[in-house]
C-alpha cells in the first residue's frame, strides 16, 4: 500500500495508545504477505528504557518494561498520550509491530504517520504549539498527518 504524504519528502511516525503493551518482535514477516521489502530503515526492540531513549512522549504516558515487552499506559486512564518515533521515515515505508491490550475494557490505539506541521515543519519543531496527547491537537491543530485506528474499545457499539 502506498500513501502519498500531505507534504513532500519524509514522514514521522507516532503511536497514540493507551493501556497496551507492544514489542517489535514479530512471528509474521512482510514476505509472508507477498510484500517486497528493500531494506530495514528503523528497528527498536522496545524492551528497555535504553531501546526507546530517543522516542518522545507527549501527554501523561507511563512506560514499564518487563519480560522483553514495553507496557505503556495512562495513569487512571484519564488522558491519552502520543509516543513519537525519533526517525524521519521516507514517504513509502512499511511498519510492523506486535501489541496486546492488557485492559480490554479500555484503550484506543492509533498510529499517526506522514506527520508535519502545516508548513512542513518537523513535528518536534519548537515553533509548533506544545501538545499533550489530546486527539484534536493531532487532527484539527497545527499538524498534517494520516492516522489509522487499529484498536478502540467502545462499549456503546456491539462487538
**In a domain? residue 31:** no
Residue 4 in grid coordinates? 502519498
- Comparing 6-15, 64-73, 103-112, the range with the smallest average pLDDT is 6-15
Number of domains forming the structure of the chain: 1
Distance CA 105, CA 150 (A): 15
Structural contact between residues 109 and 20, judged by C-beta atoms closer than 8 angstroms: yes
Domain with residue 52: its CATH number is 2.60.120.200
Residue 17 DSSP one-character state? E
What pLDDT score does 30 carry?
59
**In a domain? residue 37:** no
Mean pLDDT over 95-119 rounds to 85
Q: What residues make up the domain containing 61?
A: 10-23+43-152
Global pTM reads 0.74
What confidence category does residue 70 fall into, taking pLDDT thresholds of 50, 70 and 90? very high
Amino acid at each position: 500500500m502506498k500513501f502519498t504524504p500531505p507534504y513532500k519528502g519524509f514522514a514521522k511516525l507516532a503511536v497514540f495508545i493507551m493501556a497496551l503493551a507492544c514489542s517489535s518482535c514479530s512471528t509474521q514477516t512482510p514476505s509472508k504477505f507477498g510484500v517486497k521489502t528493500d531494506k530495514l530503515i528503523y528497528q527498536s526492540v522496545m524492551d528497555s528504557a535504553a531501546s526507546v531513549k530517543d522516542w518522545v512522549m507527549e501527554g501523561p504516558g507511563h512506560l514499564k518494561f518487563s519480560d522483553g515487552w514495553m507496557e505503556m499506559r495512562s495513569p487512571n486512564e484519564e488522558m491519552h498520550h502520543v509516543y513519537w518515533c525519533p526517525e524521519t521515515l521516507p514517504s513509502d515505508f512499511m511498519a510492523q509491530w506486535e501489541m496486546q491490550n492488557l485492559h480490554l475494557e479500555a484503550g484506543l490505539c492509533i498510529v499517526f504517520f506522514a506527520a508535519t506541521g502545516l508548513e512542513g515543519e518537523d513535528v518536534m519543531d519548537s515553533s509548533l504549539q506544545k501538545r499533550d496527547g489530546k486527539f484534536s491537537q493531532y487532527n484539527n491543530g497545527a499538524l498534517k498527518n494520516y492516522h489509522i485506528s487499529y484498536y478502540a474499545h467502545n462499549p456503546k457499539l456491539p462487538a
